[in-house]
Structure 1
Amino acid sequence: MKKLVLFYNPVSGHAAFKNKLDWMVEAFQKRGILLLFYRTKKEGNEDFVDFLREVKPDGVLAAGGDGTVHECVNLLVKHKLDLPMGIIGSGTSNDFATYLKINEDMEAYFDKIAAGSCRRMDVGKVGNQYFINVASAGMMACIAHEVDRRLKNSLGKMAYYLKGLGEIPKFRSVPLVITADGVKHELEAFLFVVINSAVVGSMKNVATGISVEDGKLDLLAIKKCGVHKLMAITADLVAGHPVNEKDGVLHLQAKDFRIETEGELPSDLDGEEGPMLPLTIETIPQAVAIYC
């Protein structure tokens, strides 16, 4: 009998996922799969690695939001555990699962997992941390950290949008020096994102020509502009319209990025707090196998 380990966040998505555990046990059991559980903690989930080495599963399922997926990817890649990973979205947002469209029909997805259907995908690396979907900095990068947890749990994705819209009048640009595969670009920008997929911050289709299997990452930077143009770009993003060819947006594709600025500027990795700039970002091709 195959074994899968469910790495689940008990508080994501209105803390309701734990009520689905028996349903998942039944769903996988009827497919000939034994489901084992690892309940995540706020901090200190390194013992998950020891657990995996002890039980020797055939794969891992990360159940939660973007942060849960981020942590699971980091534990697997850092410790060189080459196990296929599935994503069960249950948090406020799960952008990578949305991009792959893997949670639209859960029964069909469980069939794919049972069949071992997976693809190898790239991840980004910043220092000793990895991200599977996005690294960002600028005015919007702090929003995920500033949204009150109670508001996030009650309003879901809308909490991010409300916070972001409220911050637009306060936006201040920062000087950036971006080096993409050795080519330098200097600009004033409100924010930048380095993305693996085209779904960012619950906004779908932010750019065209995005691939999670091409050995490259894409950078989008919103250049300094007037408030009306900024609001127009923001409206396009929220509406699911790509902005990579818009006037006022810089789009670069590269294997490696170096991003520098003056003073201190915090970054964000998959919705979790990242290091301060400067950032050196590299693509790690085909680093993880994702059930899909």
Structure 2
Amino acid sequence: MKRAAIIYNEHAGQANDHLSIEQIKAQIESHSFQLKLCPTSKPGDGERIAKEVGKDVDTLFIFGGDGTVHECINGVPSLQSRPNLAVLPGGTCNDFARTLGISMNLEEAIDQVCTGTTKTVDVPKMNDRYFLNFFAVGLIADTSENINEELKATIGRLSYFWSALQTVTNPTHYTYTLTSDDLHLTGEAVMILVSNGNYIGSIGLPAQHELDDGYLNVYIVKEGGLSLVSAWKEAKLNDQFDENENNLIHHQLKHLTLHVEPEGNVDIDGEDGGKTPVTITLGDKVTFCIPSESQ
């Protein structure tokens, strides 16, 4: 029997699935795992539990939303002996599970991660916090603050889109300074996004990023509104960026330091990341269970 544990948020959205944790446990154990249940009850539990149990198991399942995944990833890099990580979608958007190619159907997702293959993934680090999916200052961070929690509970990720639409019509403009090796950029922007995944709010990013290429994918958005939508769609359609497009700028960097004025709120993986300035590096690598090509 393979040793495993599952960290799960009992209050995650689970909008499309209604399996009990007992049913999830039974399905995982049918794949020759001996599974320990590790529920979270308050913020920070995911990181703490990952540190406590991660060293003693072969596979660490994470069932919940992107916030739960974010907490757990911060508990893994300190482990000398690290388990494979298996993400099971149980939240509102499940963006990193989407990036890994995992089904949004929970039963299918369990079979995929239990019988699939593995992939080593870059884990960026902002100051002293790791993240998997994205870092943002500007539109996305401001949007997260504007989400109506009652609406989110009712209609899920659509509330994120609605809040984004409200924000993008009147965005805050930030003066930024971004430095990396020989690169030194200054200007005004409504959003600076550093992406490691391919989805935000279940919306696909303009380009599909390799998860193990050793680069941070940096987007600088100078204006919101229709010009952003147009540039976003054009880049996504052509899978490349127009060199003459001034509103959506893209760089691949190994590290960066970012200052913005006024001081900006930071969003990492949909969670509060504090304030700028920040330094972002490729902090580590971890191994995730992913579907095989035949699944």
Q: Distance in 1 between matches of 2:237 and 2:90?
A: 25
2:133, 2:195 within 8 Å by CA — same for their partners in 1? yes
* Secondary structure of 1:290's aligned partner: strand
Q: Which residue of 2 aligns with 1:196?
A: 196
Most deviating of 43-52 and 31-40 = 43-52
- What 5-or-longer segments of structure 1 have no aligned partner? none
- What 5-or-longer segments of structure 2 have no aligned partner? 291-295
* 1:5 maps onto 2:1 in alignment: no
Q: Aligned pair in 2 of structure 1 residues 16, 94: CA closer, same or farther (>3 Å)?
A: closer
**Which amino acid is 2:258 matched to?**
I
* 1:186 maps onto 2:182 in alignment: no
Deviations 1:72-111 (A, max 9, x none): 1011124455111000011011111111211256556544
TM-score for the superposition, normalised by structure 2: 0.87
1:49, 1:79 within 8 Å by CA — same for their partners in 2? no
Q: Aligned pair in 2 of structure 1 residues 131, 44: CA closer, same or farther (>3 Å)?
A: closer
* 1:91 maps onto 2:87 in alignment: no
Q: Which residue of 2 aligns with 1:215?
A: 214
1:180, 1:253 within 8 Å by CA — same for their partners in 2? no
* 1:65 maps onto 2:65 in alignment: yes
Most deviating of 10-19 and 25-34 = 10-19
Most deviating of 11-20 and 207-216 = 11-20
2:44, 2:71 within 8 Å by CA — same for their partners in 1? no
TM-score for the superposition, normalised by structure 1: 0.88
Q: Which residue of 1 aligns with 2:289?
A: 291
**Which amino acid is 1:165 matched to?**
L
* Secondary structure of 2:217's aligned partner: strand
Q: Which residue of 2 aligns with 1:245?
A: 241
**Which amino acid is 2:288 matched to?**
I
Q: Which residue of 2 aligns with 1:118?
A: 118
Q: Aligned pair in 2 of structure 1 residues 263, 16: CA closer, same or farther (>3 Å)?
A: same
* Secondary structure of 2:207's aligned partner: coil
Q: Aligned pair in 2 of structure 1 residues 97, 241: CA closer, same or farther (>3 Å)?
A: farther
Choose between structure 1 and 2: higher helix proportion. 1
Q: Aligned pair in 2 of structure 1 residues 258, 15: CA closer, same or farther (>3 Å)?
A: same
The number of equivalent residue pairs is 286
* Secondary structure of 1:71's aligned partner: helix
Q: Which residue of 2 aligns with 1:131?
A: 131
Instruction: Report the aligned-residue RMSD.
Output: 2.7
Q: CA deviation at 1:49?
A: 4.3
Task: Report percent identity of matched pairs.
Answer: 26
Q: CA deviation at 1:197?
A: 1.9
Q: Which residue of 2 aligns with 1:48?
A: 49
Q: Which residue of 2 aligns with 1:262?
A: 261
Q: Aligned pair in 2 of structure 1 residues 288, 35: CA closer, same or farther (>3 Å)?
A: same
Q: Which residue of 2 aligns with 1:280?
A: 279
Q: Aligned pair in 2 of structure 1 residues 200, 278: CA closer, same or farther (>3 Å)?
A: same
